[in-house]
């Protein structure tokens, strides 16, 4: 399968933080863009929360984890939970406009639809390379997906005259520095620097957080993690930190809906960040705005906005935003 997969260890130093003013909780994006055009309301670097519920469960409420970062006129999709393409379209961005996909780690709720997003970009008229960046085994995951739809690709190439999707996909599989070794630059382009750091999300060892440093502002996305000093260091002085949040009081109700996962509580407690811990993270990092996303449980209406922020506020006095699907920060 002609998928270009490169492995490299990130070596350069963590990106320096930038400061800037920013708008919070703007409406969903405006008119649908023309092909090849990125439109996200007013100009500037921003993050759109495509899906704000943690975990693989699908229901009628919040969508599964995914974010869209728009910087320097480009769209960067970070994580591809179930329904990511539909959420992109709802946000006013067509799949074929996406040129870079970043995966924080390879739990299914973060990479389940990386393949379908690539395919949907091709179905929508993709004529340029699309890159996927993330930890191992993302190369194998993408290759296996392309093999699974190989019959369809071949038929459409012959019947519809489409180019070979497999020749457009570029996978950059990399290993971030070990825990405690700091962050490193993943890539730089158009005045944007994207850095990665390894965070603590056992039993997965290759779980990353990303920082986007653009000329106008800095945005950090935690991925899945328990309290991690590495994440605190990455987020120092950031304008916006989008961080996962777990509300302990809701775990019993969540676990009652997952009878086939007897050790799920252990995983959640050891691998995710409680709202009280999150307040410490935001305060220690000195971020300007903290956005709660990847909510666990994200489908429990009995947990009010005040309950989500109560324990965070014990330690963090800055601005707190409870993420909603399609919210623009």
Length, in residues, of the chain: 329
CB 60 within 8 A of CB 83: no
Q: Is residue 305 left, alpha or beta, with left meaning phi > 0 and alpha meaning psi from -120 to 50?
A: alpha
CB 22 within 8 A of CB 70: no
CB 40 within 8 A of CB 28: no
Compute the Cα dihedral for 156, 157, 162, 167 and give only its sign: positive
- Listing DSSP states for 105-117 in one string gives --SHHHHTTHHHH
Task: Establish whether the linkage from the previous residue to 261 is cis, with ω within 30° of 0.
Answer: no
- Kindly name the residue from 109, 213, 239, 325 that is annotated as catalytic: 109
CB 210 within 8 A of CB 221: yes
Token pair recorded at residue 220: 């950090």
Known catalytic residue at 109: yes
Nearest of 78, 86, 71 to residue 40 by alpha carbon: 71
Reduced to 3 states (helix: H, G, I; strand: E, B; else coil), residue 100 is strand
CA 13 to CA 5: how far, in whole Å? 24
Which residues are the active-site residues?
Answer: 109
């Amino acid at each position: 399968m002609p998928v270009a997969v490169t492995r490299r260890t990130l070596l350069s130093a963590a990106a320096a933080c930038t400061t800037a003013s920013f708008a919070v909780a703007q409406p969903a994006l405006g008119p649908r863009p023309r092909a090849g055009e990125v439109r996200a309301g007013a100009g500037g670097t921003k993050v759109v929360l495509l899906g704000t519920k943690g975990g693989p469960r699908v229901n009628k409420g919040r969508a599964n984890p995914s974010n869209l970062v728009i910087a320097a006129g480009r769209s960067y999709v970070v994580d591809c939970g179930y329904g990511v393409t539909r959420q992109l379209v709802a946000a006013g961005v067509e799949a074929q406009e996406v040129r870079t996909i970043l995966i924080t780690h390879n739990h299914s709720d973060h990479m389940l639809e990386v393949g379908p997003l690539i395919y949907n970009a091709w179905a929508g008229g993709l004529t340029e390379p699309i890159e996927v960046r993330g930890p191992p085994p993302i190369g194998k995951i993408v290759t296996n997906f392309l093999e699974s739809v190989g019959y369809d690709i071949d038929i459409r190439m012959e019947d519809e005259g489409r180019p070979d999707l497999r020749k457009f996909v570029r996978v950059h599989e990399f290993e971030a520095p070990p825990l405690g070794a700091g962050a490193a630059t993943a890539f730089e382009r158009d005045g944007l620097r994207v850095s990665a750091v390894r965070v603590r999300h056992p039993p997965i060892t290759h779980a990353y957080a990303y920082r986007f440093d653009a000329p106008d502002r800095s945005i950090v996305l935690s991925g899945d993690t328990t309290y991690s000093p590495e994440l605190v260091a990455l987020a120092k002085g950031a304008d916006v930190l989008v961080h996962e949040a777990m509300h302990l009081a809701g775990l019993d109700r969540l676990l009652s809906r997952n009878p086939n996962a007897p050790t799920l509580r252990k995983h959640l407690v050891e691998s995710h960040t409680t709202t009280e811990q999150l307040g410490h993270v935001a305060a220690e990092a000195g971020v300007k705005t903290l956005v709660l996303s990847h909510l666990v449980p994200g489908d429990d209406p009995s947990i009010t906005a005040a309950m989500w922020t109560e324990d965070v506020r014990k330690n963090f006095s800055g601005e707190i935003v409870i993420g909603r699907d399609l919210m623009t920060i």
